[in-house]
Amino acid sequence: MTAPPNQTSPTKTLDVRLAESVADVRAAQALRYRVFYDEMKAIPSAENRHARLDVDAFDSICDHLVVVDRERSHGEPCVVGTYRLMRRPVALAHFGFYSEQEFDLAALIEYPEEIVEVGRSCVDPEYRKRGVMQLLWRGIADYVAARGIRILFGCASFPGTEPDAVNAGLSYLYHYHLAPRDLRPRARGDRYVAMERLPRSRLDEQTALSDLPPLVKGYVRLGGFVGDGAVVDHQFNTIDVCILVQTDRLTGKYRRHYRPSGTP
C-alpha cells in the first residue's frame, strides 16, 4: 500500500509515514507497550510481557502510522509516536473492527462511503511537547485524503475504571457532542455505562471541556461526536467512548491548526 508522503517537523528530525517494514511495526508495538503498560498500568498478556510488545491479532492487517526520529534511528527505527488504522474493506475481509468488541457499529458499517478506524494512539513521553501529535494528525489527514475516507472513528479513553470519577467529562460529551442517530454507535448491552451522569444544567461547559483527556479534547476540537454509552476496559485501565470525526471537518481544521506556518 502506498504511504502518504513523508512530512518533516519544523525541527527537521521527525518524519511521519506509514510503517514500511516489520522493524517499523515492532518499534511501534514497543512504544505502545511502554506507554500503555509501563506508564498507564494496563495488564499485559504473558506473551506481551515477555516480549515487551503490545501485540494483538489486528496488528497484522492494519496500517501503522509512525513518527520516526531520524537522529536517534541507528539501524533500527526510533518510533516516538504511532496510530493504527483499519479501513472497512480490510475489517470486513477479516474479523471486523477492534471497536466492535465494545460498541455496536452497525450504523457506521452501513454508511455508504469509506470509513476508517483509528486507535492505539500514543506518543513517547519525551516527545509530548515536540509536535508529534500534530505530525500524526498531518499523516492522518493525508491518509484520509488519499483514500477518499469520509468518517474516522475509534475508541478514546478516560484514565481509570471508575465512571463516577469522570462524571463531568462523560456528561459533557453526551450533552454537547452526541453523534447523529443515523451514525451513532452504542456501547454493547452487557458493558454499557450511561454517559448522562449529570444534568446539563449542572455542567460548567468550559471547565468540563478543559478537563477532558488531551486526545478526547483533540477530537472534540476537530468537530468530533461520541456514541451512546461508555465502556470500562479493566485490562487497559480506561473508560472508553467511541469517537467519530467527519473528515471534511478534520481536513479544514487540520489545514488551519496543524500545518506549521509557512507550509502550503
Mean pLDDT of the chain: 90
165 backbone φψ class: left, alpha, beta (φ>0; ψ -120 to 50): alpha
Q: Which residues pair with 245 in a beta bridge?
A: 152
3-state per-residue secondary structure call for 7-71 = EECCCCCEEEEECCCHHHHHHHHHHHHHHHHHHCCCCCCHHHHHHCCCCCHHHHCCEEEEEEEHH
Rounded mean pLDDT of 99-120? 96
Residue 157: its H or E element: strand 149-159
Domains of the chain and CATH, by start: 7-257 (3.40.630.30)
pLDDT of the residue at 12: 76
pLDDT of the residue at 5: 46
Dig out the grid coordinates for 135 from the structure.
Answer: 505530525
List, for residues 183-236, the tens digit of each pLDDT value.
999 999 999 999 999 999 999 999 999 999 999 999 998 889 999 999 999 999
Indicate the pTM of the whole model. 0.89
d(CA 162, CA 172): 17
List, for residues 34-90, the tens digit of each pLDDT value.
999 999 999 999 999 999 999 999 999 999 999 999 998 888 999 999 999 999 999
d(CA 30, CA 28): 5
pLDDT of the residue at 264: 30
- The closest of 231, 230, 224 to 254, measured between CA atoms, is 224
Dmax (CA) of the chain: 57
